[in-house]
Amino acid sequence: MSYQEPEFLPWDGRRVPMTFIAGYLGAGKTTLINAVLARAEKPVALLVNDIGSVNIDAKLLKSRSGETIELSDGCVCCSLNEGFGLALDQIRARSEAPEQIIVELSGVAEPDKVLPWAASAGFMLDGVMTLIDVETYDQLVDHPIIGHPFNAQMQAADMIVLTKADIAGATDVERVRQSVVDRSGGATVVVGQGVNPTAVAGLMQLGGGRPRSLDRLPEPTLFDAHEVSSQPLPVPASRAELESLVAALPADVVRAKGVTERPDGGCWLIQVVGRRSSIVELPASETQPATDLVVVRLPGL
């Protein structure tokens, strides 16, 4: 479905700042989004590629309706599954303007290709924040396929947050930081430890000043080098069973995630990011039915 600019400006001509979050698979975008939602003092609108991928704390949840999630503090989350135009129409249709729009881009999205949406009716560009996982940086930065969008995310950023720094050595963190500074061409680079307060605060007021051209939306492309599949998880499952299953995943898996039941009636959350994996009890606040294990592979990695 094509997008057509609305005839009348919403909210009496007010323009709401739009901030983009970029970062490769597993860099920590969902963690940051939840931290922002939990700390937001005024309503924000969140646009995500797949609403179901954001495990929103039940204390914040008010209701779900189709492609929209309403939060108790007035925030709203809309899916980008049907495209930017329709998602922005949902926001424009609301009688009250949000204080900010936050857009979570897919792991391989190049921000410059979607930033023109920030110039559409009712909105203005605030900036781009890119998250980079320190541990997977060397694996991705010069990759023959992923290297291009990965570097494009750096070069489009107003602020770059290095994540997972608390589990990497200080020497590696500093080496990656310097490389990111050199490649990004002027972005502010922040080293994160857990949910970084600077990142949370920065996301609410980037005020990006990079020169950009927002006058034309590029043609969409369906090319994606990733292969996505799913495999059933045992129900119920012991930790040992899941550890064996994760250990047997192919070496080219870059991301995997799933939920299954524990023998005691609770749930396991299984996550794989590159070479790291975790199998933890799903918090009670994040009630979620069992799922298959969704596996994202990058052949040739």
pLDDT tens per residue, range 32-64: 877 777 777 778 888 876 545 555 544 544 545
Residue 212 lies in a domain: no
Same domain? 279 vs 145: no
Residue 214 lies in a domain: no
Last residue of a domain, one of 203, 235, 251: 203
Other C-beta atoms lying within 10 Å of the C-beta of residue 225: 15
Mean pLDDT for the stretch of residues 108-117: 86
Structural domain for 288, as ranges: 227-297
Q: What is the pTM of this model?
A: 0.69
CATH code of 151's domain: 3.40.50.300
- Residue 171: band (very low, low, confident or very high) from pLDDT cuts 50, 70, 90: very high
Residue 75 lies in a domain: yes
Confidence (pLDDT) at 162: 93
Same domain? 181 vs 277: no
Q: What is the mean pLDDT of the chain?
A: 77
Q: Which residues contact 277 (CB under 8 A, 6 or more apart)?
A: 246, 256, 270, 271
Poorest-confidence range of 22-31, 46-55, 88-97, 176-185? 46-55
- Residue 256: band (very low, low, confident or very high) from pLDDT cuts 50, 70, 90: confident
Confidence (pLDDT) at 178: 96
SS3 71: strand
Last residue of a domain, one of 147, 170, 203: 203
Token couple for 31? 């963690």
Mean pLDDT for the stretch of residues 186-200: 71
Confidence (pLDDT) at 223: 42
**Residue 162 in contact with residue 173, Cβ under 8 Å?**
yes
Confidence (pLDDT) at 50: 54
**Whole-number Cα distances in Å, 267 to 237, 251, 284, 294, 296:** 9, 26, 9, 16, 22
Only one residue has tokens 């080496």, namely 175
Same domain? 87 vs 161: yes
Count of domains in the chain? 2
Q: What span, in angstroms and rounded, lies between the C-alpha atoms of 88 and 119?
A: 12
Mean pLDDT for the stretch of residues 262-276: 84
Same domain? 169 vs 263: no
Same domain? 144 vs 195: yes
Same domain? 167 vs 236: no
CA angle 275, 276, 277 (to 5 degrees): 125
pLDDT tens per residue, range 133-160: 999 999 999 999 899 999 999 999 988 9
